[in-house]
Structure 1
Amino acid sequence: MTLTGCGGTTIENNCSTGADCGRDHRGSTQSHATDQGKVAVPSTGPSTSVAPDKSPTQAAYSLVYEGKQVGLSLPDCAGGWYADFEERTSKFYSDDDLSNMESQAANTGQQLPLDFYYRNCAWGGFGSQNPWSIVSEEPASPTDCADAAKSGGMDTISLAPVKNEGRVKPGATLICTITDAGVAFLKVKEFGPEASSMRAPASVALDVTLWKQG
């Protein structure tokens, strides 16, 4: 959370138990007393070292692009507009298209490359099938953005004024969302004119910053 801004890695402790953690592993010295009463002579065993842990506890992200615009349009009533942030495209998909794509994705074990949507011709449903969240400020790192997205628990928000109630505002609303490739940080830039029976905007323009995981 799931963004981004919107990473760094940390190294995990590789000790399996607390007993050996922090011990100096550069060598061991043992005293061997003799039955003749001679002074004990140190014996150096084979040197051991702790291999560095190469498994980061945080996902590594690389910036794909920053502040690029992607738009969504109010759809017809039998489908929705979906944005693919990795490709920087948006497209209308019918309900049948989506059903077929979801079936294919389930069979192949892949995630749909549909990162954010605008659907419902009357109410203008705005959201994502992936974890996402509205955030109060630009995240400090893509890891922070991903964490915020995963903990947000957001669902579809109607952009019709009677239901939106100011939750999504052009020029003010910031969003972190998980994508099929990584995490994205969105700024809601502007709304198109009111278009539906419930006065949902005809379009939504987003400024997108995308990080790819791995």
Structure 2
Amino acid sequence: MHGVQILKKALANIASHIGSLKQEYVGTKFTHKMLKDILKDKKIYIEKIDSNCGKGASQNNCNNDKYRLNLSDENWYVFNDNYGTSEEKLFIKYFKTNIEPKLIEKDLEYYVVRNERIPELAIYSFEDGERFEPDFLLFIRKKEFDGDLTYQGYIESKGEHLLKEDKWKENFSLQIENNSLTTGLFTQNYKIIGFPFFNNEDRKIEEFKKVIDDFICKI
């Protein structure tokens, strides 16, 4: 057998072996880390600014009342402005007008963090290990007699044109509460939950409202 034929046969055997390998995926296993070690001051670079106060535009100085909110006055928002999409800005306004009053009523401590492409905040689906970077993290702390109880929630705002295409992200988010594995300190008093997509369309906003209202009611 000539050298070329031997090489071809060897490569064919290798290809056959690789094809027979079963691909394995690892979903997110949540570990305890201090937020101060993950959230840092970060410069963001904006290539294009949406003229209607969408992606790249400041929410603080937006010229559209529908989206404008001065976040430098809001202690619950961890950064000093929001340059996200129009749907992300709508969520922040929804939080201010619809969610915050309920949290205040229950005397809860709360913070919202926008995920500014921070690698440590990425999570991976339980089924096939697909990477997902939710737009926002919601932290809520309830003071109890025997120690604080902390909730960490994942929220993704989604434009209507992407609701179907990114449905797997919503499915994954809704699996988090019952499937998340946590390791490290304080996990007994630490709960993780994912929410349905936030979208301003009537049907989706009602679905989101029901889930988050029920969640707050149970805290």
Of the two structures, which has the highest relative contact order with CA contacts closer than 8 Å and spacing of 6 or more? 1
Q: TM-score, normalised by structure 2?
A: 0.24
Structure with the higher helix share, 1 or 2: 2
Q: TM-score, normalised by structure 1?
A: 0.25
Greater gyration radius: 1
